[in-house]
Amino acid sequence: MNTTPIRVAVTGAAGQIGYSLLFRIASGAMFGPNQPVILHLIEIEPALPALNGVVMELDDCAFPLLKGVVPTASLDEGFRGVNWALLVGSVPRKAGMERKDLLGINGKIFIGQGQAIQKNAASDVRILVVGNPCNTNCLIAMNNAPQIPKDRWHAMTRLDENRAKSQLAKKAGVDITAVTNVAVWGNHSSTQYPDFVHAKISGKGVTDVIKDEAWLKGDFISSVQQRGAAIIKARGASSAASAANAVVDSVASIVNPTAPGDWHSVCIHSDGSYGIEKGLITSFPVRSDGKKLEIVQGLAIDPFSQSKIDTTIAELKEEKSLVSDLLPK
């Protein structure tokens, strides 16, 4: 048992995702069964009464690994000394909207949060942005915290990876664990490219197992791209439990070594790999050695994949230009 707890800040802690996420972190699902945690729960002032109810429920779980809870509306207090900052708090889209339509409402939240993380967090802080549009919100926070190394910033496409795996497993009639090497490229948006070309089923290329190329190039991609919207239509609210599960998966895959030969998807600061503009927060296939992430290099990108990647990167550039006034010069 480690004796020093990891301090984890969660913004929007009284929201839908928060309600699924906090209990998973406190139970040990994110950092393992021997790692104590202290939760810093950040909400806006009007949500503090609801947050108080969530804190009561956390108490009532008597989690052995939960060594403290700090509920607050103060960004300074909330981010003080934290090792991880999970930026969930922001407004979800409604039916008929694209995620980038939220930039005007949500973008500015990430200026103050980036600044407060830089001022208060532990020197080893790592950040995962979930609130949409998560890539560009992460770009805003990162650029407002220039002293934090760029490789600490992440935005979430693990939900898309998990969705893609589930679709491929169903189509091939195999267990979900047989599907590996699923890369999501680009933006967490309807332009993202879930890459079936490099994905594997039981170690074989997906195209050797699923012969229906029209499905792979058509319904597979669009169903992953549109899954968030389909859930909003069906539930009247955006995905929450599956999103929280993807947050747990994302962090666990960053802090633990990746299985040999496999990779996962997360959005990180582009270093120019695969010709993608430096500095954009872009989803790549990544591997971890338990300490550091690296972009998987050397994948051959065929013309079909390249055109999909070009489209999603063009959208990220467009989003960046829309928020230029939120990025310090």
Ligand X SMILES: O=C(O)C[C@H](O)C(=O)O
Residues marked as catalytic: 188
Choosing among ligand X, ligand NAD, none, which partner's interface includes residue 231 (Cβ < 5 to 8 Å by kind)?
A: ligand X
Residue (176 or 241) nearer to ligand NAD, CB: 241
93 binds ligand X per the rule CB under 6 A: yes
Binding-site size, ligand X (CB under 6 A): 11
Q: Is 258 in the site for ligand X (CB under 6 A)?
A: no
- Cβ partners under 8 Å of residue 185, min gap 6: 192, 193, 195, 282, 283, 284, 305, 308, 309, 312
| Nearest residue to ligand NAD, by Cβ distance, number only | 15
The DSSP call for residue 289 is B
- Helix, strand, coil shares of the chain, percent, nearest 5, are 45, 20, 35
Give the integer Cα–Cα distance in Å for 247 and 249.
5
User: Which member of 6, 9, 10, 11 binds ligand NAD (CB under 6 A)?
Assistant: 11
Is 58 an interacting residue with respect to ligand NAD (CB under 6 A)? no
Residue of 80, 99, 165, 200 that binds ligand X (CB under 6 A): 99
The response to whether 81 counts as a known ligand-binding position is no
Interaction of residue 100 with ligand X, rule CB under 6 A: no
Do the annotations mark residue 18 as ligand-binding?
yes
Was 126 annotated as part of a binding site? no
Q: Is 14 annotated as a binding residue?
A: yes
Nearer Cβ to ligand NAD (139/243):
243
Burial level of 275, CB count in 10 A (0-12/13-18/19+)? exposed
As measured in angstroms, the least distance from the Cβ of 88 to ligand NAD is 5
147 is in an annotated binding site: no
Edge-to-edge, what's the strand order for the sheet holding 6-11? Answer: 66-72, 37-42, 6-11, 84-87, 126-129, 153-155, 264-269, 281-288, 293-295
Sheet of strand 200-201: strand arrangement: 179-180, 200-201, 204-205
Of 91 and 230, CB closest to ligand NAD: 91
Q: Using CB under 6 A, pick the residue from 109, 121, 182, 266 that binds ligand NAD.
A: 109
Give 224's DSSP letter.
H
287 annotated as belonging to a binding site for a ligand:
no
Phi/psi of residue 66, nearest 5 degrees? -90, 110
Told to check if 17 binds ligand NAD by CB under 6 A, we report: yes
Residue 248 engages ligand NAD in binding (rule: CB under 6 A): no
Q: Say if residues 264 and 195 touch (Cβ distance below 8 Å).
A: no
Q: Do 317 and 190 form a contact (C-beta atoms < 8 A)?
A: no
State the sign of the Cα–Cα–Cα–Cα dihedral 113, 116, 118, 120. negative
Residue 240 touches which of ligand X, ligand NAD, none (Cβ within 5-8 Å per kind): ligand NAD
Check residue 131 for interaction with ligand X (CB under 6 A): no
Q: Rule CB under 6 A: is residue 239 a binding residue for ligand X? A: yes
Interaction of residue 92 with ligand NAD, rule CB under 6 A: yes
Q: Return d(Cα 45, Cα 51) in angstroms, integer.
A: 10
Residue 130 binds which entry of ligand X, ligand NAD, none, with Cβ cut-offs from 5 to 8 Å by kind?
ligand NAD
Q: Which of 323, 20, 319, 18 is nearest to 189 (CA)?
A: 319
Was 130 annotated as part of a binding site?
yes
Buried b (16+ CB within 10 A) or exposed e, 211-230: eeeeebeeebbebbbebbbe
Q: Which is nearer to ligand X, 78 or 133 (CB)?
A: 133
- The DSSP code for 133 is S
Residues annotated within the binding site are 12-18, 93, 99, 106, 113, 130-132, 163
Contact residues: ligand NAD, CB under 6 A: 11-12, 14-18, 42-44, 47, 88-93, 109, 130-132, 134, 156, 159, 188, 238-240, 243
